[in-house]
Homo-oligomer: A and B are copies of this chain.
Amino acid sequence: MNKKTDFADLEVGYDIPAVPGMDEADIQTPCLILDLDALERNITMMGEYAKAHGMRHRSHGKMHKSVDVQMLQQRLGGAVGVCCQKVSEAEAFARGGIRDILVSNEVRDPVKIDRLARLPKLGSQITVCVDDLANVAELSAAAQKHGTALECLVEIDCGARRCGVMTVEAATEIAKAIDAAPALKFSGIQAYQGAMQHLETYEDRSAKLDVAITLVSDVVAALDAAGLKPEIVSGGGTGSYRFESNSGVYNELQCGSYAFMDADYGRIRDMHGKRIDEVEWENALFILTSVMSNAKLGQAVCDAGLKVQSLDSGLPVVHGRSDVKYINASDEHGVIEDPDGVLRINEKLKLIPGHCDPTCNLHDWYVGVRNGKVEVVWPVSARGKAY
């Protein structure tokens, strides 16, 4: 894998779209490519931001699902560990050598609780969220059974209307139960406001987060009064991290998308009304695609359809091209509007996906490129790890 290989000399059957050392032009499409320079700049910048604001940064691995990207975030960006949403993701990160893992979600299935309680045996510190008193006893019993310890955050619902408690009283009651339970440690609060991350204006996002910050402050005050000062108050995403950093109550960020970016996040605005993909984070993730037909007047067909991207947050944007536009996707094809008929067969385009998280989850590999060459091919370590 480390020497330059001519794809045409390989035997039948390829499970990877590229090998390190090959020219960018020889990558088999469609696949995910990472602009390594842009990725490193994003990661470094977030690390510097967090440090300058006295925040810990726990990078969200649900976005990239990659041990290699996470390692880079820890090495270059000073990330303290990873957060993820599923036990199977935590397993992939623990097996990959990540030593501080937060499952920023509830775990309720008895087998999953059992799996989670075993994970510290691999040498990783495991933290999990709780929003129900009954869950405390389940987690405690499993950790005791395996002779391990689990740290717990009480999850506060900040407006996403999914999991999490909604009152100071419920949060305090659960924190007390965790503190009293054998083999569990009460470590703090999970308060991620997911529903507002993608609102376009800074003011709209700020207003939504003000409500969350008020609730979180009240919970922290009540816990403090009960002798349960939270060590960790964790939350914040690419659309909100400045608010949490300046809240005076959060001390840990959970940004994920900033590292790769996507078309949907690119459209949101900073406090000066500027698009954040122009003034803050660079697009580092692309779907590389090839034109496979230009037989129809005014359009071309490329090889990137529904099966290589999630369209939940809109269509992809063709990077660096204003003359052509991705207008429709079917399972294996994308239709590109090409009014001037400029696209040629096998011409490559870089698509900025609408939504990075579920798009990455469709792929087995990240092809990392720099200066026109493939430098690394990283597995999407936790791809498909949903259970």
Contact = CB atoms under 8 A, between A and B. Distances in A.
Interface stretch (A6-14, A180-188, A369-377): A6-14
A41 interface: no
Nearest to A111: B7
B91 A308 contact: no
B29 A109 contact: yes
A12 B387 contact: no
A218 interface: no
A332 B88 CA distance: 12
Contacts of A105: 292, 332
B384 A363 contact: yes
A163 B219 CA distance: 59
A167 B13 CA distance: 36
A194 B12 contact: no
Given A111-B26, A345-B108, A308 B386 contact: yes
Contacts of A157: 296
A132 B357 contact: no
A364 B384 contact: yes
A217 interface: no
Contacts of A290: 108-109
Interface string A273-315: 0000000000000000011110110010101101110111000
A8 B113 CA distance: 10
Interface residues on A, range: 35 or more
Task: Name the prevailing secondary structure of the A interface residues.
Answer: loop
A86 B335 CA distance: 17
Contacts of A164: 295
Contacts of A163: 292-293, 295, 301, 333
A166 B293 CA distance: 13
Nearest to A31: B387
A12 B307 contact: no
Interface stretch (A74-82, A116-124, A246-254, A263-271): A116-124
A179 interface: no
A100 interface: no
A206 interface: no
A115 interface: yes
A15 to B, nearest CB: 8
Given A119-B12, A292-B106, A28 B332 contact: no
Given A108-B345, A386-B332, A95 B161 contact: no
A330 interface: yes
B132 A293 contact: yes
Interface of A: 7-8, 11-14, 17, 26, 28-31, 62, 85-86, 88, 91, 94-95, 105-112, 114-115, 118-119, 121-122, 131-132, 134, 157, 160-166, 194, 290-293, 295-296, 299, 301, 303-304, 306-308, 310-312, 329-333, 335, 345-346, 357-358, 361-364, 383-384, 386-387
The 8 A-B residue pairs with the shortest CB-CB distance in the complex, in nearest-first order: A12-B118, A85-B332, A28-B387, A163-B293, A306-B358, A17-B387, A307-B361, A108-B292
